[in-house]
Structure 1
Amino acid sequence: MDPVAVFGLVGVIGVGAQWIAWRLRMPAIVLMLLAGFVVGPVTGLLDPSVAFGDLLQPMIALAVAVILFEGGLTLDFKGLRDAQKGVLRLVLIGAPLGWLLSALAVHYGAGLSWEVAAVFGGILIVTGPTVIAPLLRQARLKHRPAALLQWEAIVNDPFGALAAVLAYEVISALNTAETLGEAAWHLVLGIIVAVVVGGLAGVGIVQAFRRALVPEYMKVPVLFVTVLAAFAASDFVLHESGLLAVTFMGIIIANARLAAYDEIRRFKEHATVLLVSGVFVLLAANMSMETLALLDWRAVLFVVLIVLVARPLTVMISLAGSDVPLKERALIAWIGPRGVVLVAVAGLFGEQLVKLGIEGAELMAPLAFVLVAVTVVLHGFSLAPLARWIGLAESGPPGLLIAGASRWTVELAKVLQEAKVPVLLADANWWRLRAAREAGLPVFQGDILSEAAEHQVELMSYGLILAASDNDAYNTLICTDLGPEFGRDAVFQLARVKESGRATLPASLGGRRLDCDATFEDFAKRHAQGWTFRATKLTEEYTLDDWRAARPDALLLGYISGSGRLRFEAPKEDRPTTGLRLIAMVAPQEPKDKAPTKKQDTA
């Protein structure tokens, strides 16, 4: 197949698999692996080795480098806080211990030689950050266990690759004329070069951006090229040390507090989605049925030992005596999905060991695929139920975060809380939150965009944001800043005052408007006139048409579905509305709710 057609096919399959996984709420990596196997070994439609030849491995290596750099960009040290000690233990104690236990599982479980076990065991340290992140979002895990899992995955990725490099250098020295001393010096030199190159590249980017030496439109391209250059320079000295260099570079940039940091991070996130899709499809398609046929019952034993013995022992021993509660340790010990770095590095070193004549090295890649598939399916479908069962995740429907405390937002929050919708009121003014505190509502005193909010508010517990302050510009800022994290369809703001013509903001700024199209002043004026918020349940006897006929002037904000999920939109006319609870602001002259009978509301 023509290389251009291969690129198009891989892109469609990879991104398509991620989109289908999002729609079905499934781990995306499973569908990407299945799609790669179908177009590769099963049907023979795609053979990456033939299509790209010798360029295949360099392409995958560069893609993995960008993925790890993006992971390093998320390592903001201020985000550690209460998880710092646990992360250090998981890295300093867990990595060497995990290497040892994984090597034992490879040798005694898979039946491979000690040479292969030493290299493969090092790679098995890694837990895929590109897999962990979406799982944490789906599970709505609490901050500390989520931070422990995410930081462990990102930090251990380059160390796992370096552990494999160390073992490979020793084995290579034993099988060639090179001495162990020369191999050790080569390894130390490579690590030093990786840290120096990554550090210089990171500091150079930070200084260039701060001093405006690079125009805004060129910042992302310059950064991208610098990542590739740093990876290539370090990798030239020691193979695979470039992974450490780009990770270290990402960490420096993440902690430099650059004004363009958010834009850079979002671009890298988008690039990572594309690269992960492509890499997984290419690696899966590059497998052969002959290689897969070499796997036997020992592959099953190997996976069982890694999942049920090596991972739990590593975590429990590493965190023994720490301040991490037992239930958090248990959750972390169980969750350890592998990802793209394991598959890519295992395939690379497997080929290198085969060239050295090491028996069993050809099984590294298929074993890595099996482990990735099993752990992603197993942990992907068990994380959310387990976290809810032991109280480390929100068990109810996602709630609403209201930015801006006022008399009418407090009343709205009270009505939603009575309807079993989790609500949080946030405002920088302590006195504005007084009524909310007296009503027993959860509050956060501070700017919702501040670092304090990031560390003190469990944002994963909230699926919707309503920017309802009396400052239209601030509402727009909140929705613009939190939109990429929550999704543009989940951030709402009040209508702006006198917005028309040239005053209209571009579509890229702000969030969605409520269907009632009311401003802060509209809500405040109606509330002062005695209007109140109501939750009205629709039944077969009291339909949406009945409610509209009885409440022609009401401001309809949205409805609560039968599952308890709040939606800021009018119910669809072509869908059943029985059981829905309408949330609206109604006029004072209307009768109070008594019972869910014909023509009546239920509070």
Structure 2
Amino acid sequence: MTPVMAFALVGALGVGSQWLAWRLRMPAIVLMLLAGLMVGPVLGFFDPVRDIGPLMGPMISIAVAIILFEGGLTLNLHSLADAAKGVRRLVIVGAPVGWVASALSLHYVAGLGWPASWVFGGIMIVTGPTVIAPLLRSARLKRRPAALLQWEAIVNDPVGALAAVLAFEVVIVMNAATTPGHAAQELIIGIGFAAIVGAAAGWGIAQGFRRALVPEYMKVPVLFAVLLGAFALSDAVLHESGLLAVTVMGLWIANADLPSYVELRRFKEHATILLVSGVFILLAASMKLETLAMLDWRAAAFVACVILVARPLTVLLSLAFTGLPVREKLLVAFTGPRGVVLVAVAGLFGERLAAIGITDGAQIAPLAFALVAATVVLHGFTLTPLARALGLTGGEVSGVVLLGGSRWSLGLAQALQKIEVPVLIADRNRSHLRHAREAGVPTFYGDILSEGAEHHLEMAPYGMIIAATDNDAYNTLVATDLAPEFGRDNVHQVKRPGQGIARHALPPSLGGQAIGGDEGFAELDRKMRAGWQFRTPKISEEFTLTHWREMNPEAVLLGRLTPSGDLSFVADDPELKLPHDSTLITMVPPEPPTQD
């Protein structure tokens, strides 16, 4: 196989596994693991060392550097300061306790030596932000336990990488130096230089972007060039210290309050998905059958010790005396899925440790694969039942956030409440929410895009956004900004005036899916004033959608709720097919007055 075909195969397997996992609603990491092992050690069809050659090592190093940079880019210290005390305790107390507990498990249960245990133990602090997010969406946890798990994953991602890098630098220097004094000198110089290089690169990017020294279309290329330069420069002074430099660079940029920070972070997230997929496939395909054979009873005992002892001990010690309910502590304690970042970093460090003569390094990669596969599968199937048993779920049906406290929004919210769909009406004008509060509909006063909404609004029960204010530009802004988070199919807005005219039409990348038929906010509000109402009829084999249309020729079909709890807002297409026992969400005109 040529290198070009190998790159194409890695891309197809990585992205294809993630797409298939999305279709099957399975953890992507499980399918990527199976795909990499199948084409690699099982079938022998793809061997990265043989088919890619000496470039594979530097490629993985650069990919891991970019992954760690993106991890540092997620750590905003202002957001951490605003987070709940429990989150801070999980980071400040939980990270070192988890490091020690993981290292002890690796040494005494898995049988690794202390150098490999401390390095791998640092990586195990990471709980997998790319894994926990889809689990939280599917489980629909209440806000506080969801925030604890989400923020712990986000913040500990760079913290765990940083701990592993520091431990790795200590191991390298201690093995290369001639005396303890020489080792300490090399370590201080290397780590200090890496921190200075990373901070200088982050400061330079922040200043250049803030002063408009870099045009908008070149910001991402310049960012990548500086990232690679900082990695290479630091790595030349102390081997693998470049990983520390890029992590510090990401931390600096994350806290520089750049106007283009969100765009940069989103692009980096997309790049990281590709890189994580590629690295995971490469590492899985590089595994040897004899290496996998190392996973004996000690590996199983190690995984059980991490899940049942190390993780609960870390969380319970961290959250002690915080005043959190016991059931929330238990849920967080027994939920700690590890992700592909752990596998990518562990695989790289394991190879480096083995290269400098620490034979235990060869066991790190298979142990990482075993831990990730076990935790993802276990928590993927147990989080929702466990949360439901503890009474910490936000509801079976995905809820809806309505922007704008108009008559139309209130009517739709009340109709959704009747069919037991969680709803929330948000508005920047307090007076617009008065009728919703009087009707008992949950409300949020403020901007849905504000930091206050991000940190204090319980969004876990809600999977859809409907922007229905009288400001079409604001509706488009909200729909565009929240589309990456909720998914473009789950973000809707009322029709914009002139949407079908070329000079007023916006690109498909802006705004959300249309709702309310061909009528904008003014027409929908006029109908509500004229007496139109929302109805939620149920169709069956006897009373089909066709029968409903015949009985209500002027009604507007907005959405439907299937018996399985799948809510969607759809256009009134004549070809639309709905399963029996679905509930329709409709607007019907007022009934004509009866003749006496």
Shift of 1:462: 1.5
1:38 counterpart residue number: 38
- Distance 1:458-1:263 versus aligned 2 partners, 3 A rule: same
Quickly say closer, same or farther: Cα 1:127–1:587, change in 2 above 3 A: closer
One-letter identity of the residue aligned with 2:79: G
Mapped to 2, the partners of 1:472 and 1:200 lie a distance apart of 43
CA deviation vs aligned residue, 1:422-449 (integer Å, no higher than 9, x gap): 1111111111111111111111111222
- In the alignment, structure 1 residue 559 sits paired with structure 2 residue 564: no
Q: Distance in 2 between matches of 1:248 and 1:115?
A: 24
The equivalent residue for 1:443 is 443
Q: What letter is aligned with 2:582?
A: L
Amino acid at match of 1:555: V
Q: Distance in 1 between matches of 2:521 and 2:61?
A: 53
Q: Which residue of 2 aligns with 1:600?
A: none
Q: Which residue of 2 aligns with 1:375?
A: 375
Contact 1:72 1:154 in 2 (8 A): no
Query: How do residues 184-199 of structure 1 correspond to structure 2 at under 5 angstroms?
Result: 184-199=184-199
1:236 positional shift: 2.9
Tell me the residue number matched to 2:262: 262
3-state SS of 1:516 partner: strand
- More divergent stretch after superposition (105-114 vs 526-535): 105-114
- Give the unaligned 5+ runs of structure 2: none
Contact 1:132 1:150 (C-alpha < 8 Å) held by counterparts:
yes
Asked whether the equivalents of residues 177 and 183 of structure 2 are also in contact (C-alpha less than 8 Å), the reply is no
- Equivalent-residue separation in structure 2 for 1:308 and 1:353 (angstroms): 28
Whether the 8 Å contact between 1:540 and 1:578 is mirrored in structure 2 is: yes
| Residues 1:226 and 1:591: Cα distance change in structure 2 (over 3 Å) | farther
Q: Do 1:562 and 1:580's aligned partners in 2 also have CA atoms closer than 8 Å?
A: yes
Query: Which residue number in structure 2 is paired with residue 112 of structure 1?
Result: 112
Aligned amino acid, residue 506 of structure 2: L
Question: What CA deviation, in whole Å up to 9, does each residue of 1:464-504 have, x standing for no partner?
Answer: 21111112222111111111111111111111223313122
Aligned position for 1:347: 347
Alpha-carbon deviation of 1:125? 2.9
1:584 counterpart (570, 583, 586): 586
For 1:494, what is the secondary structure of its paired residue?
Answer: strand
Residues 218 and 533 from structure 1, CA distance in 2 versus in 1: closer, same or farther, beyond 3 angstroms? same
Residues 7-16 or 84-93, more deviating: 84-93
**1:466–1:157 Cα change, 3 Å:** closer
Alpha-carbon deviation of 1:571?
7.5
Q: Which residue of 2 aligns with 1:303?
A: 303
- The whole-number CA distance in structure 2 between the counterparts of 1:66 and 1:26 is 26
The residue aligned with 1:391 is: 391
Cα distance change on mapping 1:130 and 1:526 into 2, 3 Å: closer
Deviation (angstroms), 1:157: 4.1
Tell me how far apart the structure 2 counterparts of residues 251 and 177 of structure 1 sit (CA, whole Å): 30
Bigger mean CA offset, 213-222 vs 54-63:
54-63
Contact 1:493 1:514 in 2 (8 A): yes
Partner-residue secondary structure (3-state), 2:75: coil
Cα gap change, 1:194/1:355 in structure 2, threshold over 3 Å: closer, same or farther? closer
Deviation at 1:51, TM superposition (A): 2.2
Q: Are the aligned partners of 1:403 and 1:466 in contact in 2 as well (CA < 8 Å)?
A: yes
Q: Which residue of 2 aligns with 1:475?
A: 475
Shift of 1:560: 2.0
Within 5 Å, give how 1:86-485 maps onto structure 2. 86-168=86-168, 171=171, 175=175, 178-485=178-485
**Cα offset, 1:175, TM superposition:** 5.0
Partner of 2:515: 514
Flag the 1:419–1:228 CA change in 2: closer, same or farther, 3 A.
Answer: same
Q: Distance in 1 between matches of 2:573 and 2:566?
A: 13
Q: Is 2:542 aligned against 1:528? A: no
The Cα of 1:148 is off from its aligned counterpart by 3.4
Q: Deviations over 1:376-435 (max 9, x none)?
A: 211222223323332333232111111111123212211221121111111111111111
Unaligned stretches of 5+ in structure 1?
593-603
How many aligned positions are there? 592
CA offset at residue 576 of structure 1?
Answer: 4.7
Name which of structure 1's ranges 583-592 and 51-60 shifts more when overlaid on structure 2. Answer: 583-592
- Contact 1:80 1:147 (8 Å CA) reproduced: no
Normalising by structure 2, report the TM-score. Answer: 0.93
Moved more, 144-153 or 453-462: 144-153
Structure 2 contact 72–158 (Cα < 8 Å) conserved? no
By how many angstroms is 1:274 displaced?
0.6
1:468 touches 1:494 (CA, 8 Å); kept in 2?
yes
In structure 1, the residue corresponding to 2:536 is in which secondary structure?
A: strand
Change over 3 Å in CA distance of 1:289–1:383 after alignment to 2: same
CA 1:406–1:190: 2 relative to 1, 3 Å:
same
In structure 2, what residue type is equivalent to 1:382?
Answer: T
The 8 Å contact of residues 399 and 463 in structure 2, kept in 1 or not, is answered as yes
**Contact 2:107–2:117 (CA<8 Å) still a contact in 1?**
yes
Displacement of 1:574 in angstroms is: 6.7
Q: 1:585 to 1:231 in 2, by over 3 A?
A: same
The alpha carbon displacement at 1:173 in A equals 5.7
Equivalent-residue separation in structure 1 for 2:175 and 2:195 (angstroms): 29
**1:54 paired residue number:** 54
Give the deviation of 1:168 after TM superposition. 4.7
- For the aligned residue pairs, the C-alpha RMSD in angstroms reads 2.4
1:532 maps to a residue whose letter is Q
SS in 1 for 2:537: strand
Q: Is the 8 A contact 1:397 1:421 kept in 2?
A: yes
Tell me how far 1:545 sits from its aligned partner.
Answer: 1.4
Deviations along 1:192-219, one digit per CA (max 9) or x if unpaired, are 2233222222222122112111111111
Output the CA distance in 1 between the equivalents of 2:99 and 2:289: 29
Q: Is the 8 A contact 1:558 1:571 kept in 2?
A: no
Q: Aligned to 2:64, what secondary structure does the other structure show?
A: helix
Report the alpha carbon displacement of residue 129 of structure 1 after superposing the two structures with TM.
Answer: 2.8
1:596 equivalent in structure 2: none
User: Paired residue for 1:595?
Assistant: none
Cα distance in 2, alignment partners of residues 408 and 299 from structure 1: 58
Amino acid at match of 2:581: G
Q: 1:155 to 1:229 in 2, by over 3 A?
A: farther
Task: Indicate the larger mover: 159-168 or 177-186.
Answer: 159-168
CA contact (8 A) 2:40 2:287 kept: yes
For residue 226 of structure 2, what is the amino acid of its counterpart?
T
**Alignment partners' CA distance in 1, 2:149 and 2:240:** 24
1:497 aligned to 2:497? yes
Partner Cα distance (1:469, 1:174) in 2:
63
Shift in CA distance, 58/431, structure 1 to aligned 2, threshold 3 Å? same
SS of corresponding position for 1:434? helix
Mapped partners of 2:203, 2:190: distance in 1 = 20
For residues 206 and 222 of structure 2, the distance between their equivalents in structure 1, rounded to whole angstroms, comes to 12
Shift of 1:115: 3.9
Paired residue type of 1:487: G
Counterparts of 1:412 and 1:14 in 2: how far apart (Å)?
41
Give the 3-state SS of the residue equivalent to 1:397 in structure 2.
Answer: coil
Q: What's the CA shift string for 1:44-70, capped at 9, x where partnerless?
A: 111111123332222112112212222
Contact 1:82 1:144 in 2 (8 A): no
Q: CA 1:522–1:375 in structure 2 vs 1: closer, same or farther (change >3 Å)?
A: same
Residue pair 2:315, 2:333 contacting (<8 A) in 1 also: yes
Deviation at 1:146, TM superposition (A): 3.5
Indicate conservation of the 8 Å contact 1:173/1:179, yes or no. Answer: no
Q: By how many angstroms is 1:18 displaced?
A: 0.4
Question: C-alpha separation between the residues in 2 aligned to 1:160 and 1:495?
Answer: 46
| Alignment CA distance shift 1:537-1:148 (3 Å) | closer
1:363 CA displacement: 1.8
Is contact 1:36-1:281 (8 Å) kept?
yes
